[in-house]
Amino acid sequence: MTLQPLPSVSVCFPAYNEEETLEGILRKAHHLMAGSGVDYEILVCNDGSTDRTGQVAEACAAELPNFTIFHNLRNCGIRYTFEFLYSRARKDYVFLNSTDGQWETALVLDMLPMTADWDIIIASRSNKQYGLARALISKSFNLIPRLLFGTKTYDAGAVKLVKREIINRFRLVSTSPFNEAERLIYATRAGYRITEHPVQTATRKTGRARGVNVGVLVGAILDVFRVWWVLARQGSPRA
């Protein structure tokens, strides 16, 4: 039996004030992908960092191949940075990782063989280390899409591998991090195949997580209703 070659992949990193961890993570990603035999690129977006994140990223790109660095002149937030990286990716699949050390880039090599059967693979967290308030918010935003839209989003905010065709196909209305769930809702309705790949994540090594604040929470709630309205006008919000 002839094995099919693995698809090409854009490995993407949003980075905000991650100077302490960024160089090690980028070098590790380079060595991993360079030795994998997979056609790849590594994209980094420095989201208006106030530390040396931008300089660290540029130094890596000057030394290592297949790197492209982008800089937001101001801090634009995680939703904008995600979508920016998605829009700049040029390979068959997009792997969106973090630069805080919680997810290993090696996950992409576990997930790429799964693309023979799946279009989106979510590295769902089996050991979320949240406080009570954030745990309730997380559970709510995984439950809401199932109740309102009939869609299981697994762990929408987790690292994932996405077929680039899906990213290009759907126009999103969300202006908050609910955009990740919105994409999964549309992809499910269009017949794309979605699964999860449960993983144990590490504790954040440095820095402070950009968690849910009141503004983000309110924006996400509004986005739920925006998406519901868009789908209701098309016939039915539920898949």
Digits of tens for pLDDT over the chain (239 positions)?
A: 446 789 999 999 999 999 999 999 999 999 999 999 999 999 999 999 999 999 999 999 999 999 999 999 999 999 999 999 999 999 999 999 998 888 899 999 999 999 999 999 999 887 666 566 666 666 777 788 888 999 988 888 889 999 999 999 999 999 998 999 999 999 999 999 999 999 987 766 555 555 557 888 889 889 999 999 999 998 877 76
Residue 175 is assigned to a structural domain of this protein: yes
Residue 2 is assigned to a structural domain of this protein: no
Residue 27 is assigned to a structural domain of this protein: yes
Residue 3 is assigned to a structural domain of this protein: no
d(CA 95, CA 10): 6
Q: What would the pLDDT profile of 132-188 be if each residue is shown by its tens digit?
A: 666 666 677 778 888 899 998 888 888 999 999 999 999 999 999 899 999 999 999
pTM to 2 decimal places: 0.89
Residue 224 is assigned to a structural domain of this protein: yes
Residue 138 is assigned to a structural domain of this protein: yes
Range of the domain at 210: 9-233
Burial class of 87 by CB neighbour count within 10 A (0 to 12, 13 to 18, 19+)? exposed
Please count the structural domains in the chain. Answer: 1
Supply the CATH number for residue 125's domain: 3.90.550.10
Owner of token pair 């199932």: 146
